[in-house]
Structure 1
Amino acid sequence: MLMRSPAETLTDQLANRFSERIRNRLLAPGSRLPSVRECARRHEVSPYTVVAAYDQLLAQGLIEARRNRGFFVRESRVDHRAEPTPSPRAVRPSLETRTRTPIDAATLIRGMFRQVHGQDGQMKAVPGMGVLPPGWLETPFMGAAVRRVTGTANLYSLSLQYGEPAGDTGLRRALSQKLAALEIEAAPDQIVTTVGATHALDIVCRTLLRPGDAVMVDEPGWAVEFARLTQMGMRILPVPRREDGPDLEVMTRYCEAYAPDQRPKLFVSVSVLHNPTGQSLSPSSAHRVLQLAQQHGFHVVEDDTYSHLAPEHATRMCSLDALQRTIYISGFAKILAPNWRVGYLAAAPHLVERFIDTKLLGTLTTPSLFEQALAHCLEQGQIRRHAERVRARLGAARARAVQLAVKAGCRFVTEPAGLFGWLDTGVDTDRLAQVMMDDGYLLAPGSLFHAVHQPSSLMRINFATTQDAGFWRDFERVRRQL
């Protein structure tokens, strides 16, 4: 609540509250601020106070007024690159390439690093979080593994020189065995370790793409991937995600609509436990995607970030393709140690040296100490057993979260699976997220998961962080207000 104080007026308090959120990117560029009347009611102040606070934000250049539409967080300037001219077989209007920066992906990322306090001063769960709660990841074997590899002699030898360009040999051997259990045949010299899975994606794109190249991506999809590709100057071609995989008709039209040198060079997709829908690829869809890749000459990047949470024998394109036109990417942030930043990629031999060159130019090396500790955890089967416990715990959490969400009047638009639920709230979730931020909750509105911002009533929830019935009571109250 805003409190009357001789040290700070209500106007200044309200302006500072919005200013802090905008500067910390908790309100993303393009976000609409509450109307004057709605803001006055929510904060129990007069409309004149709200107008004066918005005037301060306008003067600071943080927001802009749009005639007959309201107040919006000012967009950062974007370099709109000219798009290549398509061949005479024009693309349908619904398939236009998109180069605009999406609603700021940093909003979602910063929410993972920052707790918002509610008006009661208490920190609450983060329903929009993209990872498991820290308490779920705590294990005794992680510390033991670090202590094992940091004996005095080993500590100095690993810390005082750069590691192997491709990554620690022992870890790459352990990863090769792990992939074999997924029926993906990749020798240790086909594997390159990275600073997390996002770094692996970046290495692949910087190696295989040039500014202006077209990249097909899942939509809805990972906001960070949209933003990262846009910053690199790529043309984003959104592919609607269906229950069994990508919309193959849309992919085919993308491949056939452009001249050969302007066709998609890459398809980046989460096959198993897709973010945000939780869906997984069917075998028939996987075969057809691979046929398209072979026919039209693009590579498929399979992001298997949630592999540790996936059911056994889930379909992976890299298994069917034997890493011919596919590139496999994964990491351990979602199941073990987000701050260790250990990820990896597996690819055909003729691509590996190129990926290593790109890695060396960007990071020189990767942390050998953590890589050796991780290799020990893999070799001893500790991560496998830990993942089994987490999956069981997540299953129970998912059942409870689904029950609470349905009771609160939401509808799941996809079958609940994995870490995330994709549900319809019935209201504009951009507005919902803004209001609930006052109560200390950070949400992940549906607009974050589209290549170009568009209003949405959908929302992604993290099943592990939506166990609190209090959150759902607050959710129902705010939704009724909206």
Structure 2
Amino acid sequence: MLMKTASQSLTEQLCARFAERIRSRLLGPGARLPSVRLCAEQQGVSVSTVVAAYDQLQAQGLVVARKNRGFFVRDAALNMALAPANKALQATKNIASAALDAGPDGLAPWMSTRQAPVGATTLIRGMFHKVSNKPQPGMGVFPPDWLETSFMPAAVRKVTSVSALREFSLQYGEPMGDSGLRRALSQKLSALNVHAVPEQIITTVGATHALDIISRTLLRPGDCVMVEEPGWAVEFARLDALGMRILPVPRRADGPDLEVMAQYCEIHSPKLFVSVSVFHNPTGYCLTPGSAHRVLQLANQHNFHIAEDDTYSHLAPEHATRLCALDGLQRTIYVSGFAKILAPGWRIGFMAAPPDLVERLLDTKLLATLTTPALLEKALAWCIDQGQLRRHAERIRTRLDAARARSVRLALAHGCTFAAEPAGLFGWVETGVDTDTLAQRMLDEGYLIAPGALFHAVRKPSTLMRINFATTQEAAFWKVFARLRDGVK
């Protein structure tokens, strides 16, 4: 709560609070500030204090007043330099109307770009902006203490002897990535029934980098790309920034909506489908074999590739259905990494690709990064070869199962339901209120939540939120959540 001090008035404190959220992108360009009366009620101050604080924000060029509408975060001046990263995401409508509304170029008018109030960069900045020392339900990673190990420092020491450090620091690494790591990854993939020789594997700076390489290699500006919705906001924004036309495919419990995909294929001839088969983010859904076969049939029939993002593979059973295992890496490209399970700061990812695409993908990697860090790749290879990564993942899965059970019990006890069966790291929670509004109120209590609107190709009001089971197993969060949610009603 705001408290008047000798050094700072309530007006100055309130202004500073909103200014910090705007500069850290927790309130993005175009976001509307609470009404004066609502803000006064939320913050426990007078209306005149809020008016004065909003006037100061306006004087600083952070917000703009719109007659009869309220105060909005400016999308010019302060945000001009960041505008390219906040390009609008593609607007969406019902696929059934797309065929009727298609223009001369075959693309429906609703597929044009428009400004969204909060983009993916806002979410990323918010996820890693230190809101408070409390566990953060909106985070997309495990808490640091979950990932602490003794074997990772040992692995680094193992590969950084004086001679090794000199050898691998004074020259570039192998273009495709460390050969020892690629051999270890080949063996690891075989346990998932994804058969790829080391020559089909390319290391990258994280899984997102792998997806970016695929997009830049296979697509050109204006090409249509199918992406599951709800889905990861970064993927929507990344493809939009490359000038692609995004076709959102509703994600069901068994897989993508096949009827929507089929209609997209007939109308728009997409070049790529980006999919998360196992522990889909944010729903936790896993692909079924029947749905997987139909997706592959569509890919062969309509000549598009599939980028299968298996970021959460370390949390899933080996027998889980994967498109790459069924397809044999013909039209599919497998993508994964180790940021979620082992070392976010190491930024090691990889892709396994069809043989005829490997050289093209490698060329794109070389143009962007030349090579990837050999020392850390060698350390990771040691962790895999020694069985350390496997044992670590088993410990994480056991701990996550317990955390999920506690989090689910607390969510249900505080009046929430789950829009999808709880599984994996994330829960897709029905709150019953607008989670954009709830998110701003939760910030005042030191909690950052991930509102459902962020997981759609175009932002729209949502009563859903994504929670991280590892960071929502304490009753304190749910008590604050329930109190503020009831206030939104």
Alignment of 1:381-400 (within 5 A): 381-400=387-406
> 2:90·2:240 contact (CA, 8 Å) conserved in 1?
no
Structure 2 counterpart of 1:14 = 14
Query: How far, CA to CA, are the matches of 2:311 and 2:100 in structure 1?
Result: 33
Structure 1 counterpart of 2:448 = 442
Task: Give how far 1:57 is off.
Answer: 2.2
**SS of match in other structure, 2:194:** coil
Query: How far, CA to CA, are the matches of 2:90 and 2:399 in structure 1?
Result: 49
Query: How far, CA to CA, are the matches of 1:82 and 1:337 in structure 2?
Result: 33
Task: Give how far 1:368 is off.
Answer: 0.3
**SS of match in other structure, 1:245:** coil
Task: Give how far 1:2 is off.
Answer: 2.0
Residue 109 in structure 1 maps to residue 124 in structure 2 = yes
TM-score by length of structure 2 reads: 0.92
Task: Give how far 1:91 is off.
Answer: 2.3
Structure 1 counterpart of 2:244 = 234
Alignment of 1:186-197 (within 5 A): 186-197=196-207
Identical residues among aligned pairs (%):
69
Q: Which amino acid aligns with 1:429?
A: T
Task: Give how far 1:410 is off.
Answer: 0.6
Structure 1 counterpart of 2:47 = 47
Residues 79, 24 of structure 1: CA spacing in aligned structure 2 closer, same or farther, 3 A cutoff? Answer: closer
- Detail structure 1 runs of 4+ shifted over 6 Å in the superposition: 78-83
Q: Deviations over 1:313-367 (max 9, x none)?
A: 0000000000100000000001000000000001011111111111111111100
Q: Which amino acid aligns with 1:106?
A: T
Task: Give how far 1:90 is off.
Answer: 5.3
Q: Deviations over 1:6-62 (max 9, x none)?
A: 433322221111011111111223333222111101212111111222222233332
Q: Which amino acid aligns with 2:299?
A: A
Structure 2 counterpart of 1:120 = none
Residue 432 in structure 1 maps to residue 438 in structure 2 = yes
> 1:271·1:281 contact (CA, 8 Å) conserved in 2?
yes
Gaps of 5+ in 2: 92-96, 103-107
Gaps of 5+ in 1: 84-88, 118-122
Query: How far, CA to CA, are the matches of 1:39 and 1:112 in structure 2?
Result: 24
Structure 2 counterpart of 1:468 = 474
Query: How far, CA to CA, are the matches of 2:140 and 2:360 in structure 1?
Result: 31
Task: Give how far 1:81 is off.
Answer: 11
Q: Say which is worse superposed, 3-12 or 440-449, in terms of deviation.
A: 3-12
Query: How far, CA to CA, are the matches of 1:33 and 1:82 in structure 2?
Result: 24
Q: Deviations over 1:125-159 (max 9, x none)?
A: 10000001111111111111110000110111001
Q: Which amino acid aligns with 2:11?
A: T
Q: Deviations over 1:418-458 (max 9, x none)?
A: 00000110111011110010111010000110111101110
Structure 1 counterpart of 2:419 = 413
**SS of match in other structure, 1:242:** coil
Residues 79, 469 of structure 1: CA spacing in aligned structure 2 closer, same or farther, 3 A cutoff? Answer: closer
TM-score by length of structure 1 reads: 0.93
Q: Which amino acid aligns with 1:343?
A: G
Structure 2 counterpart of 1:401 = 407
> 1:81·1:233 contact (CA, 8 Å) conserved in 2?
no
Residue 334 in structure 1 maps to residue 340 in structure 2 = yes
**SS of match in other structure, 1:475:** helix
Residues 92, 426 of structure 1: CA spacing in aligned structure 2 closer, same or farther, 3 A cutoff? Answer: farther
Query: How far, CA to CA, are the matches of 2:402 and 2:101 in structure 1?
Result: 44
Q: Say which is worse superposed, 285-294 or 24-33, in terms of deviation.
A: 24-33
> 1:91·1:254 contact (CA, 8 Å) conserved in 2?
no
Q: Which amino acid aligns with 1:303?
A: D
Q: Which amino acid aligns with 1:407?
A: A
Structure 1 counterpart of 2:284 = 278
Q: Deviations over 1:98-137 (max 9, x none)?
A: 63465321232123322213xxxxx211000000111111
Query: How far, CA to CA, are the matches of 2:407 and 2:265 in structure 1?
Result: 40
**SS of match in other structure, 1:91:** helix
Q: Which amino acid aligns with 1:153?
A: S
Corresponding residue pairs, total: 468
Match of 1:323 among 311, 325, 329: 329
Q: Deviations over 1:374-403 (max 9, x none)?
A: 001111111111111111110010000000
RMSD: 1.9
Match of 1:181 among 191, 203, 211: 191
> 1:423·1:460 contact (CA, 8 Å) conserved in 2?
yes
> 1:265·1:297 contact (CA, 8 Å) conserved in 2?
yes
